[in-house]
Amino acid sequence: MNLTAEDRVMLGRTGLAVSRLGLGCSALGGVFGAVTESDAVDTVHAALEAGMNLFDVAPAYAATRSERILGAALAGVDRADYVLSTKAGKTTDENGVDHFDYSEDAIRRSVGESLERLGTDRLDIVHLHDFDYQGGRHVHQALGEGFPTLHALKSEGVIAAVGAGIYAMELWQRVLVEVDLDAIILHNHHTLCDMRAFELLPSTDARGVGVINAAPFASGLLTGRPAPDWHPAPEEARALFAEAAAFCLEHGVELPRLALAFSSQEPRLPVTIFSCADRATLRRNLAWARESVDRLLVARVQELLRPVMNRQWAYGGTEPGSLTATP
């Protein structure tokens, strides 16, 4: 099922018209499992053919491999036909070790390298990435240097919009007040197991901040398969998600099918991205996202998941609730 012009919306005050469904490009580099470059490139082409124009990526995804593959896939495509969202401040090396630097030099260098890898002379959105990780030790530098640098790059015409991509809800409340943002990546907060996105919408709506709803499969917890080893959910929580998957199958619906339809059809969050790395899965996900949502089944699944509903996971070593909303 292809998207049409009616499936484009303005992303907040950015002036960017984006498809309601976009492609998260982490999977292109193999973040969720091995993938060939040819399959990854073909996935991007399938997304374009289906009417998707929003592509979100980051240097940290698979040690820049996701950015490089996306750049190769978009070579020769009219620049007006796609919207690029990437990130800065966090990198991941070939050994899977994360590194964080939100200084002016690091942000400018990161943006320049992303431009080169993506084969473009401008970026539509750049988000400061995961500065809530490692117990929040990077928050001061992100607010004091990282965001001012992104605003300078916007003034210079290198990027069109300034964004942020973090997880910790208590820090979101602070960032939305203190930082002049155009858009945000809000991941894992509008899913079958987490509804906290609505806590932020009064702030984003009042400021005209565009919200990209990401991770409708809860970073692997709602796929019906074991979540990736790097996911911080403990075994008892993983067992609950396995139980929910089995319950859905008993009722004739795969858990990820229900999860994507539920997450992508909220009117107050009109833009959702999902990640995949093959044409067949992309086409399947597009169809799933358009299916009617069985609200009774949603309620029963959420009842099963009640022990983990709105539970915040210790992403990046930051314990839930450890970051205060004020300096």
Catalytic site positions: 61
At 100, the amino acid letter reads F
In sequence order, the 6+-apart residues with CB closer than 8 A to the CB of 155 are none
- R_g (Cα) of the chain, nearest Å: 18
- DSSP conformation class of 313: P
Q: Classify each residue of 44-61 as buried b or exposed e, where b means 16 or more C-beta atoms within 10 Å of its C-beta.
A: bebbbebbbbbbbbbbbb
First to last CA, the chain: 47
At 268, the amino acid letter reads R
How many residues in the chain?
327
DSSP 109-154: HHHHHHHHHHT-S-EEEEEEE-TT-GGGTTHHHIIIIIHHHHHHHH
Sign (positive or negative) of CA dihedral 279, 28, 44, 12 = positive
